[in-house]
Structure 1
């Protein structure tokens, strides 16, 4: 960013504070990186300790400000101590337990929230120009709307996935949950002049849905992620000891992603001479490795690696021959992710490595890989087709190089933090310029 870049005073309202451990936290930290310290503050409702590398001014809302939520969540945490398998994970699960927890979580989210006068005074003293929020729950919507009215400023909602279509869509609490989501969204949109989305397809759909402007802003990549890339040769890569082709996946195994990875692993088992051997290495959070590791126990082409810190991601991506991105084909999960763009995709493209995408072809993330010219996508649950695409990538290093170069070039134009974060600041400044028209 340059000195000429406008920086409005932003109050971020959300469940979790800034950090580098979740996709949303990473995206926010990158978009707000370099923001003047006196022009950024956050209210959050999580007990998680905040990071101060991007934001230094926090107000942690006491969980007991929502007493019903506080008690219900403690009950859920206690009941979950032994862990409950995700449906379809291959472990025994009792449907009534999952359904009961759905109702309990809904009741917790919809329960009364007391916004302390101390918080209202703190927000007014800060004098924000805009309220920025990823929303995501009834509770956060109520908090963001309340603070927007308190401060007399607009909300800028940022949608990371299509939760407005899927949250409480199973009729939780006799459909009270769904009605509360819709009511909360109406109030938030009434307090908004424009919104942000994680992908261009989502922005297009949300303009039609909510009748206000939406702009796409996804995760951006620091210049260090582009360092060391040699056009035509790619970044330095470590060659596996076995001398084969190294496929690498970095990310969570939840939301049914484990199933798509297992299908890729089955396809890898079919690769044999004269083609070089291939292996899939999976880096995932420890809790996911514990929960889903048994799925890969009989798939020798898979190596389950450790959980990695965000600072380790770039060298891991550069050490791969092919990067893997997956989403679930399960209809309910596909509806949730159809407009989303993974935090990792900009990092994948910046690494200059070809991407193998496996998930429904109409998902925004799969379309992004194709648009960027960065890889091959298998948009059907077809092991034969997966095998053919993997064979292409294994036997043709020039194809891998071409796809990697194209993706890297695309990322430099569309995902570089210097340009994206500067436009993000300008966008919020333009919204802040309308604040005088919106005093509620």
Structure 2
């Protein structure tokens, strides 16, 4: 069975979505799938620190990613649904040509682009092949401008109930689609290669260390800002010069400073190749997992599954979660006692949490042990790859 996978983010771009797809597809024979993405997005998204490219054939469709962004801005400003419908028709024609040429027997569309899910759905109906929606985030809530949101909602009402399968990365998005559309989605947590993490990191003591490292790895944007600002305030209030925040991110130092993420105890690092991340994470004393309490897209924050969750759990280091109480992230780490959760928008409580982790070795050990157990149960890429392959096979056999 051959399938087409349509996604804005594909390896080797550095997004979490790209890395998930790399894990899922890297062992599938290249003649069993093809990959479709926007022209030149891989150039904007890749800085030499993503995964390797996949062996399957890539197709790059028009218009260029940056041109399309501009056209969406024009359509939104002009409130022109006609522009959006024209762009959708163009996407349908391009996908139709590629999927016919490749003789695909199914199509998987990933969220992240406005047109990929509805265009792939229309192609699947025209060709009579199964359609899978891989919803890395809530599709319609990704689009905040009113016109784009209305367009996404209109198509979501058809493409979710009409899918052969909807795949989501967590239980909260599964519940949301069940409540809204009566659809029972399949939960595949974002996979992590556990073999990259050594069994027993040797830096389990913080007492007497010249530096206590709080580590963050990944993108920093509106979905994180006020959680980081709380951390900066908490570090100021601690009065402990040995506690230091290290940030590895593709965002510039100037952008972080402009959003209040700065101080004498903050060290900025350029984003590093993904193969170096396990060692960097396992050398940290505390791993920081933030989500904003006040962001432009609270529904996305609520159902978000940061791609780094599996990595943080696998690292066997205590995870400090600072995220809203109604978010999947806070729920998961609380339910499984695999991280210390501070779910109030309060830097004082966050400071108390940091103090507790520094002072209590037993707490650190218990959290680390529980974290790795969850990594093995929910995020092991070997298990998730098999579930993904079994799902495709079961839905495509007619």
TM range (shorter): 0.7 to 0.9
**What is the aligned partner in structure 2 of residue 335 from structure 1?**
299
> Which structure has more RCO (C-alpha within 8 Å, separation ≥ 6)?
1
Q: 1:209 to 1:55 in 2, by over 3 A?
A: farther
Give yes or no for contact 2:161–2:181 (8 Å, CA) kept in 1.
no
1:270 aligned counterpart, secondary structure: helix
| In the alignment, structure 1 residue 260 sits paired with structure 2 residue 227 | yes
Q: 1:321 to 1:353 in 2, by over 3 A?
A: same
TM-score of the two chains, using structure 2 as the length reference = 0.87
Give yes or no for contact 2:214–2:244 (8 Å, CA) kept in 1.
yes
The Cα offsets for residues 170-228 of structure 1, whole Å up to 9 and x where unpaired, read as: 533xxxx33321222233235412211110121122123222320111211113233x2
- Range with bigger deviation, 387-396 or 307-316: 307-316
| In the alignment, structure 1 residue 383 sits paired with structure 2 residue 384 | no
| In the alignment, structure 1 residue 211 sits paired with structure 2 residue 176 | no
- Range with bigger deviation, 191-200 or 122-131: 122-131
1:43 aligned counterpart, secondary structure: strand
1:286 aligned counterpart, secondary structure: coil
- Range with bigger deviation, 179-188 or 192-201: 179-188
Q: Work out the CA distance in 1 between the residues paired with 2:27 and 2:179.
A: 33
The partner residue of 1:229 within 184, 187, 199 is 199
Measured after TM superposition, the shift of residue 405 of structure 1 is: 1.4
Give yes or no for contact 1:34–1:54 (8 Å, CA) kept in 2.
no
**What is the aligned partner in structure 2 of residue 60 from structure 1?**
60
1:388 aligned counterpart, secondary structure: helix
Measured after TM superposition, the shift of residue 74 of structure 1 is: 5.2
Q: Work out the CA distance in 2 between the residues paired with 1:325 and 1:277.
A: 20
Give yes or no for contact 1:41–1:55 (8 Å, CA) kept in 2.
no
Give yes or no for contact 1:260–1:327 (8 Å, CA) kept in 2.
yes
**What is the aligned partner in structure 1 of residue 214 from structure 2?**
247
Q: 1:243 to 1:18 in 2, by over 3 A?
A: same
**What is the aligned partner in structure 1 of residue 274 from structure 2?**
310
Give yes or no for contact 1:237–1:321 (8 Å, CA) kept in 2.
yes
Q: 1:297 to 1:204 in 2, by over 3 A?
A: closer
Structure 2 matches for 1:148-163, cutoff 5 A? 148-163=124-139
Measured after TM superposition, the shift of residue 52 of structure 1 is: 6.4
Unaligned runs of 5+ in 2: 44-50
The partner residue of 2:191 within 199, 220, 227 is 220
Give yes or no for contact 2:139–2:156 (8 Å, CA) kept in 1.
no
Structure 2 matches for 1:179-198, cutoff 5 A? 179-198=150-169
**What is the aligned partner in structure 1 of residue 146 from structure 2?**
171
Give yes or no for contact 1:199–1:216 (8 Å, CA) kept in 2.
yes
Measured after TM superposition, the shift of residue 428 of structure 1 is: 1.6
The Cα offsets for residues 308-329 of structure 1, whole Å up to 9 and x where unpaired, read as: 2222211111110110000111
Q: 1:22 to 1:406 in 2, by over 3 A?
A: same
Structure 2 matches for 1:358-377, cutoff 5 A? 358-377=322-341
**What is the aligned partner in structure 1 of residue 33 from structure 2?**
40
- Range with bigger deviation, 355-364 or 106-115: 106-115
Q: Work out the CA distance in 2 between the residues paired with 1:70 and 1:386.
A: 39
2:316 aligned counterpart, secondary structure: coil
Q: 1:206 to 1:106 in 2, by over 3 A?
A: farther
**What is the aligned partner in structure 2 of residue 280 from structure 1?**
245
Unaligned runs of 5+ in 1: 1-7, 77-98
Q: Work out the CA distance in 1 between the residues paired with 2:55 and 2:207.
A: 40
Q: Work out the CA distance in 1 between the residues paired with 2:9 and 2:351.
A: 40
TM-score of the two chains, using structure 1 as the length reference = 0.79
1:114 aligned counterpart, secondary structure: helix
Q: 1:257 to 1:118 in 2, by over 3 A?
A: closer
Give yes or no for contact 1:167–1:178 (8 Å, CA) kept in 2.
yes
**What is the aligned partner in structure 2 of residue 87 from structure 1?**
none
**What is the aligned partner in structure 1 of residue 48 from structure 2?**
none
2:271 aligned counterpart, secondary structure: coil
The Cα offsets for residues 74-118 of structure 1, whole Å up to 9 and x where unpaired, read as: 589xxxxxxxxxxxxxxxxxxxxxx98953798765543325867
Measured after TM superposition, the shift of residue 253 of structure 1 is: 1.3
Q: How many aligned residue pairs are there?
A: 389
